[in-house]
Amino acid sequence: MFIVQNYGTAVWLCVVTMLCWGSWANTQKLAGKTWRFELFYWDYVVGILLFSLLSAFTLGSHGAGGRGFLADLSQAAAINIGSALLGGVIFNAANILLTAAIAIAGMSVAFPVGIGLALVLGVLINYFGAAKGDPLWLFAGVTLVTAAIIVNAVAYRKTATENSKVSSTGIILSIVAGVLMSFFYRFIAASMDLEDFVHPAAGKMTPYTAVFVFSTGIFLSNFLFNTILMKRPFTGSPTGYAAYFQGGFSTHLVGVLGGAIWGLGNSLSLIAAGKAGAAVSYGLGQGATLVAALWGVFVWKEFRQAPKGTNGWITAMFLLFAAGLLLIIYSGR
């Protein structure tokens, strides 16, 4: 299977992860013009699962190092399979709330608040679960990211004056999603042998196998989480499965593409974790907040009606995020 050989390559893979995790929500914005986000989310989950299979049978099955996907899956211990499955369930609960927040408050708000919070808590959780990297620079970077989240919240409150109820709902959903999101990576990382991908310990899984099991957890839990959300949506009237099957091929394809984009980022993040460490790999990937905010501000114009002075807050947010991410990279040198 494909294995990262040095820290520099791992950082570049984390940068691609950041781009993927910060860009998949554009597919929701595109589909959202004619398609409920609850219906979009089914296609998104299918896209994640399909990409995990593609990755497992290609990069995860060919190469000199490590165990091939099927051989690795057959020897995996039940406790590690359960850990990756649980990670998928936790992620899905968090991500479906984040998706709802994006539909309500927009990318430039839901990502900095939700994913920014997930970055801060997740780095701490993953570092203490598997310490790797200089804690001084790592936590300094996290502190700057925390400041960026606060600045973004200030900018949003300046803008959200027309409908305070909707803005509050979007922020609350983002916060809950961020807290849940901070835990999923630790469970999937615990199912792998992060110290040795070439000769992983018996019972542990390679990143490719762990991603497939994790994705299966997302898919299975969606029958519970998304069904509840379809019947009791945060906004709008209830919908059902009949509406999903009325969607056109191109509409479904957009959602599947969104899931595949996120899945690519997830796979690269876990592949990089062997050299970068779980805390650094996760932290850089969740720099997706910065990417999503750029999309939201400059492409979707989510702050176009912001009052005078808001642009200064937005600029400060970007600078703080960028500085925080650079320190996180430096911490794992």
Distance, CA of 227 to CA of 102 (rounded, Å): 19
Question: What pLDDT score does 161 carry?
Answer: 53
Question: What pLDDT score does 167 carry?
Answer: 58
Residue 49 scores a pLDDT above 90: yes
Q: What is the pTM of this model?
A: 0.86
Question: Within its chain, how far is the Cα of 179 from the centroid?
Answer: 13
Residue 165 scores a pLDDT above 50: no
Residue 56 scores a pLDDT above 80: yes
Question: What pLDDT score does 270 carry?
Answer: 93
Question: What pLDDT score does 108 carry?
Answer: 66
Question: What pLDDT score does 103 carry?
Answer: 78
Residue 164 scores a pLDDT above 60: no
DSSP secondary-structure letter at 63?
Answer: S
Check residues 144 and 307 and name the one with the higher pLDDT. 144
Residue 163 contacts by C-beta under 8 Å, 6 or more apart in sequence? none
Check residues 129 and 312 and name the one with the higher pLDDT. 312
Question: What pLDDT score does 160 carry?
Answer: 61
DSSP secondary-structure letter at 192?
Answer: B
Predicted confidence band at 162 (pLDDT cuts at 50, 70, 90)?
A: very low
Sorted by where each begins, the domain ranges of the chain are: 7-331
Look over the chain and give the mean of its residue pLDDT values, rounded to a whole number.
88
Check residues 219 and 233 and name the one with the higher pLDDT. 219
Window from 60-64, 105-109, 181-185, 250-254 with minimum mean pLDDT: 105-109
List, in sequence order, the alpha helices (H) in 106-240. 107-110, 116-129, 135-159, 164-190, 207-231
Distance, CA of 238 to CA of 245 (rounded, Å): 16
Residue 249 contacts by C-beta under 8 Å, 6 or more apart in sequence? none
For 315, other C-beta atoms within 10 Å of its C-beta total 13
Structure tokens at 306: 């912001």
Residue 166 scores a pLDDT above 70: no
Give the residue among 199, 202, 189, 207 at the shortest CA–CA distance from 129.
189
Residue 58 scores a pLDDT above 80: yes
Residue 55 scores a pLDDT above 90: yes
